[in-house]
């Protein structure tokens, strides 16, 4: 399985960057440290807790999934669609609706109501976005459509 590159700027509650400090990376909903690597092939292990750089950027490669880092009680999410194999930016969950549906149900596990950008036929599209709970978003259209939703937590 190819690894995904995860990147996230970590900040303290006062907004200052978490610079050159080690922080644990865990799967969302778990408390065990996840295996992290310095390369996409997974040949060079990276110590976890992972150390941020001088501006607070935490970077690692790991298996596709949803990861979090806790900084002073604030969770920073590394949410990625399990099917995504390209570089995935933090806080963005990509949902591809391959079969036509008038209601897209997306389980993103952000823990908050994310903003949504929807593309249908590669064009911005408007659907009725709702959040039944903090882990799920639904987008309703007037007719069945396919496309992509980009959710930002």
Position 130 scores a pLDDT of 94
pLDDT at site 119: 83
**Predicted local confidence at residue 59, as pLDDT:** 87
Q: Are 61 and 69 in contact (CB under 8 A)?
A: no
User: According to the model, what pLDDT value does residue 118 have?
Assistant: 85
Cis? peptide before 11, omega within 30° of 0:
no
The whole-number pLDDT of residue 32 equals 86
- According to the model, what pLDDT value does residue 41 have? 81
Residue 122 pLDDT: 63
Residue ranges and CATH numbers for the domains of the chain are 4-78 (2.60.40), 92-152 (no CATH)
The pLDDT assigned to 153 comes to: 63
pLDDT the model gives residue 65: 72
pLDDT of residue 87: 47
Biggest CA-to-CA distance, the chain = 50
Could you state, in chain order, the average pLDDT of each consecutive group of 10 residues for the chain (153 residues)?
77 89 85 88 92 90 81 74 50 82 87 80 79 90 90 72
Answer for the pair 68, 76: CB distance below 8 angstroms, yes or no: yes
For residues 7, 93, 151, 88, the Cα torsion angle rounded to the nearest 10 degrees is 40
Query: DSSP of 127-138, one letter per residue?
Result: -EEEEEETTEEE
């Amino acid at each position: 399985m190819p690894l995904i590159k995860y990147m996230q700027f970590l900040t303290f509650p006062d907004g200052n960057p978490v610079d050159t400090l080690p922080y644990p990376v865990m799967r969302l909903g778990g408390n065990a440290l996840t295996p992290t690597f310095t390369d996409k092939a997974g040949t060079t292990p990276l110590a976890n807790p992972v150390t941020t750089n001088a501006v607070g950027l935490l970077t690692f490669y790991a298996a596709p999934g949803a990861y979090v880092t806790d900084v002073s009680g604030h969770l920073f999410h590394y949410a990625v669609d399990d099917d995504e194999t390209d570089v995935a930016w933090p806080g963005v969950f990509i949902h591809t609706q391959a079969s036509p549906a008038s209601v897209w149900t997306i389980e993103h596990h952000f823990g908050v109501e994310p903003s949504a950008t929807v593309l249908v036929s590669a064009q911005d599209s408007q659907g009725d976005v709702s959040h039944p709970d903090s882990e799920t978003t639904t987008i309703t259209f007037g007719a069945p459509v396919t496309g992509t939703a980009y959710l930002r937590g």
